[in-house]
Structure 1
């Protein structure tokens, strides 16, 4: 059983990367395009708007597995910055300050910097990730 699970690990990495990239991208579409609908408006060139650009572009790149490592590196840094700027000042504990997702994104994207995109990726097709 363990051998079978180990053999599927690269595929699981790709599927997890795709889903994380799509979820991350949705934060950018909400900030920049208003989809999904939100009551909060994002002022152009504000920190939130810049974060939205990174979330949209890097989320798409991560989902596609294109330039995965640099996109994941930038995204990881963005999430670390977001955590310490927006969440940590509210409360010490992530469960209380709403920063759980930022921490998970930060460390998953950092993992992608080292692990790469997995087999289902444009990077792998291009031979850019061997």
Structure 2
């Protein structure tokens, strides 16, 4: 698979952009009931879901742009760990597909990877660093 090695940074950027887009959709579902109206049924900015929605929208947008990628990704990774243990792990903790926590676990570890690897070549972080 060495033929993909020259594209490693571009692929990292692509995974970051797609992950951020999917993460933003969790926030829009809570705030605007779009595209999933059931998630916004009990939304309030003063609730833990309001804090989660703010992190999903703002953090997701920053991640999408690749701006402050490492600290934002670290924060969002923690958010997803908290989400998993607060809302999913109570039942069938070792089997996320049985407790609805698959996306929380995947987001947690993907974001942790971004915290370590950065945003890739197609990020504002990279563009700003190149100017220096």
| TM-score interval, normalised by the smaller of the two chains | over 0.9
Corresponding residue of 1:123: 125
Corresponding residue of 1:28: 27
1:41-120 counterparts in 2 under 5 A?
Answer: 41-92=42-93, 93-120=95-122
Provide the secondary structure at the position in 1 that maps to 2:75. helix
Q: How far apart are the structure 1 equivalents of 2:67 and 2:59? A: 9
Provide the secondary structure at the position in 2 that maps to 1:11. helix
**Aligned CA distance change for structure 1 residues 37 and 99 (closer, same or farther; 3 Å):** closer
Q: What is the TM-score when the length of structure 1 is the normalising length?
A: 0.92
Single out whichever of 89-98 and 19-28 deviates more from structure 2.
Answer: 89-98
How many residues end up aligned between the 2 structures? 128
State the 1:37 CA deviation.
4.4
Q: How far apart are the structure 1 equivalents of 2:23 and 2:17? A: 10
Single out whichever of 39-48 and 6-15 deviates more from structure 2.
Answer: 39-48
Q: How far apart are the structure 2 equivalents of 1:24 and 1:37? A: 13
State the 1:33 CA deviation.
2.3
Q: How far apart are the structure 1 equivalents of 2:92 and 2:117? A: 32
Single out whichever of 78-87 and 90-99 deviates more from structure 2.
Answer: 90-99
Corresponding residue of 2:8: 9
Provide the secondary structure at the position in 1 that maps to 2:37. coil
Unpaired stretches in structure 2, ≥5 consecutive residues: none
